[in-house]
Amino acid sequence: MLSSVLVANRGEIARRVIRGCRALGVRSIAVYSEADDGWPHVRDADEAVLIGPAPARDSYLSVERILAAARETGAQGVHPGYGFLSENWRFAKACEEAGLVFIGPPWRVIQQMGDKVEARRRMQAAGVPVVPGSEGALDSLEAAAALAGRIGYPVMLKAAAGGGGIGMVRVPDAAALPAAWASAERRSQAAFGSGALFVERYLAEARHVEVQVFGDARGEVVHLHERECSIQRRHQKLIEESPAPALEEGVKEKLVAAAVAGARAVGYVNAGTMEFIVRGSELYFLEMNTRLQVEHPVTEEVTGLDLVQAQLRVASGEPLPWRQDEIVQRGAAIECRIYAEDPARNFMPSPGTISRLTVPEGPGVRLEIGVAEGVQVSVHYDPLLAKLVTRGATRDEAIARMLGALDGFVVEGIRTVIPFHRRVLASAAFRAGRVHTQMVEQGAFNA
């Protein structure tokens, strides 16, 4: 087992990783910016190193400063959490070159799966269904028009070098293609320095369902079942749950088989997530997240397994701690992400000082929280304050416990999305499992 791990992150996920380290007797080292002095993740760790001023590029995104902190403290491993440097293959490679164990997949896998066109090609070769579209980047508007005519409108133009929804343009019909092509090319060029585009069929009102996978250095790959993540705003998740409710028959089996086949094909090691778009009985690979996912606790609650401890074990060279037949989904779990955003103002950020904080507890309630009363929630970082997770013998019980827990969660001084979560959980559509990724923007849960 690694003797010490530097946690290159902040807030709730840093605390979660530190807790995993502690359970295995691993010394934990936090890093922090000037804005986070005295925050819970800094106090939790066995040791903490100030790495720079508040802006992320000078602290949590600085490869140089994080590696220097690892050297100073004699860390053996680095856990990147999610966001920040977690999917930056150059960081993973720099860790390896500095003699540190990067707790995640090999850097080459991060690099391959980070390139959208390459990831699509590799998945297709492994027999994983991908959204109908171009094989690679298209060289002209004429080529795009021919292909779009064949796969059928509406289509989506995407930047080959891109990600995070940037440079993505939806095209309703053939008449709109020339203008959309010009706009997507311009935006992609500006954002990524490359105007290369590819075309995919656009699937309206589809669901986002993903599969947790885990691999080890011997080439073993298992899945830990699925998560439903369709309740989103700005292409970012707000609510996740496992199992995915109301899937058509056979879809779950196809999802986990595709996820394991895809992860095996790229030589995946450690925790990862295969994301899919699902509509009816159709399912398509969307992308792979080559890191621990924000919503991993949902999977932990239904399987009873600890993903962070397993990450530390596998990174230390141990085999996977479980066989596939030992990984059983029991009951149901739901996660509500508690963001510092104002749902009444289209999810505008709401930074400021938390003047009062009361947190829920009770049977089946789990809270992963990064903040404390009195802290200043900074403009410099992601608005995620906490993740509230409830578990039940049934989905209804998990929902009932979530509604009770949301009532017991009081945050004053800033706005949060708690009132929005109450409306979603009380809605007939959510209760029936009739969800898709455009519901929030369509106003399905407006007050």
Partner 1 sequence: MPEDVKAHITGVVFQITCKAGDKVAAGDPVIVLESMKMEIPVEATRAGVVREIKVAEGQTVQEGDTVVIID
Q: Which amino acid is at 360?
A: P
DSSP-derived pairing of the beta strands 207-215 and 221-233: antiparallel
According to the binding rule CB under 8 A, does residue 226 interact with partner 1? Answer: no
- In this structure, are residues 340 and 377 in contact, taking their beta carbons and an 8 Å threshold? yes
According to the binding rule CB under 8 A, does residue 348 interact with partner 1? Answer: yes
Question: Which residues make Cβ contacts (< 8 Å) with residue 227, sequence separation at least 6?
Answer: 209, 210, 211, 212, 240, 241, 242, 244, 295, 298, 299
Q: How far is the CB of 351 from partner 1 (least distance, A)?
A: 5
- Using CB under 8 A, pick the residue from 91, 202, 268, 381 that binds partner 1: 381
Q: Which region among 113-121, 199-207, 245-253, 345-353 touches partner 1 (by CB under 8 A)?
A: 345-353
Q: How far is the CB of 87 from partner 1 (least distance, A)?
A: 15
The 268-297 contact track toward partner 1, x by CB under 8 A, reads: ------------------------------
Question: Which residues make Cβ contacts (< 8 Å) with residue 159, sequence separation at least 6?
Answer: 166, 167, 168, 184, 187, 188, 191, 192, 194, 196, 197
d(CA 312, CA 291): 13
According to the binding rule CB under 8 A, does residue 379 interact with partner 1? Answer: yes
Q: Which region among 68-76, 277-285, 344-352, 438-446 touches partner 1 (by CB under 8 A)?
A: 344-352
Q: How far is the CB of 347 from partner 1 (least distance, A)?
A: 9
Q: Which region among 175-183, 194-202, 242-250, 375-383 touches partner 1 (by CB under 8 A)?
A: 375-383
Size of site (CB under 8 A) for partner 1? 14
Q: How far is the CB of 377 from partner 1 (least distance, A)?
A: 8
The 42-71 contact track toward partner 1, x by CB under 8 A, reads: -------------x----------------
Q: How far is the CB of 35 from partner 1 (least distance, A)?
A: 11
- Using CB under 8 A, pick the residue from 302, 312, 382, 389 that binds partner 1: 382
Is 313 annotated as catalytic? Answer: no
d(CA 247, CA 245): 6
Q: How far is the CB of 159 from partner 1 (least distance, A)?
A: 17
Nearest CB to partner 1, comparing residues 179 and 379:
379
Q: How far is the CB of 274 from partner 1 (least distance, A)?
A: 25
According to the binding rule CB under 8 A, does residue 190 interact with partner 1? Answer: no
Q: How far is the CB of 61 from partner 1 (least distance, A)?
A: 12
Q: Which region among 1-9, 12-20, 195-203, 379-387 touches partner 1 (by CB under 8 A)?
A: 379-387
According to the binding rule CB under 8 A, does residue 413 interact with partner 1? Answer: no
Q: Which region among 4-12, 13-21, 179-187, 343-351 touches partner 1 (by CB under 8 A)?
A: 343-351
DSSP-derived pairing of the beta strands 282-289 and 348-349: unpaired
- Using CB under 8 A, pick the residue from 349, 360, 404, 433 that binds partner 1: 349
Nearest CB to partner 1, comparing residues 262 and 383:
383
According to the binding rule CB under 8 A, does residue 376 interact with partner 1? Answer: no
Query: 130, 134, 132, 387: which is closest to 275 by C-alpha?
Result: 130
Q: How far is the CB of 341 from partner 1 (least distance, A)?
A: 8
Phi/psi zone of residue 228: left (φ > 0), alpha (ψ -120 to 50 degrees), beta? Answer: beta
According to the binding rule CB under 8 A, does residue 383 interact with partner 1? Answer: yes
- Tell me how long the chain is: 447
- Using CB under 8 A, pick the residue from 170, 254, 279, 380 that binds partner 1: 380
Query: 125, 180, 193: which is closest to 148 by C-alpha?
Result: 180
Nearest CB to partner 1, comparing residues 223 and 415:
415
Catalytic residue among 122, 291, 395, 415: 291
According to the binding rule CB under 8 A, does residue 191 interact with partner 1? Answer: no
According to the binding rule CB under 8 A, does residue 243 interact with partner 1? Answer: no
Enumerate binding residues for partner 1 (CB under 8 A): 55, 234, 340-341, 348-352, 379-383
Q: Which residues are catalytic?
A: 291
